[in-house]
Amino acid sequence: MKPAVTKLTGISHFFAAAGYSLGGFRRLIREAAFRQELLFFAFSVILLIVVGATLAELMIAVVLFLALFAVEALNTAIEEVIDRISPEISMVGKHAKDLGSFAVVCMIVACGVFLLFTIGEHLLFG
């Protein structure tokens, strides 16, 4: 029996996966929250550079923001799936969306705490 979907392998798989990721980015950039997080990222990197953050501190900020972007993408995916399979209001759908939103807030707080600590350290002790 022939499979319904033929999986690509090797370099073809790599390019297909890159295309799917680009499609995900194009979808995510339409989200106002993601655009605001991108601005938060740009402002934060500039501020870290201005206060004299080390390369290691800049890399930690980049990793934290990449994690934020990933969580935002997953939250958006949850919202899309819930809206598709359960367009009516349901408590299960509401809980799924609320949990995704909470995950995003946790990452925003993590980014903010790191920034406050790092910037404060450089301004007070740098």
List residues with catalytic annotation. 72
Q: Rounded distance, CA 65 to CA 7, Å?
A: 32
Residue found by looking up tokens 């819930």 in the block: 82
Looking at residue 86, the DSSP 8-state letter turns out to be -
Taking alpha carbons only, the member of 56, 24, 81 closest to residue 16 is 24
Torsion of CA 53, 38, 23, 83, to 10 degrees: 130
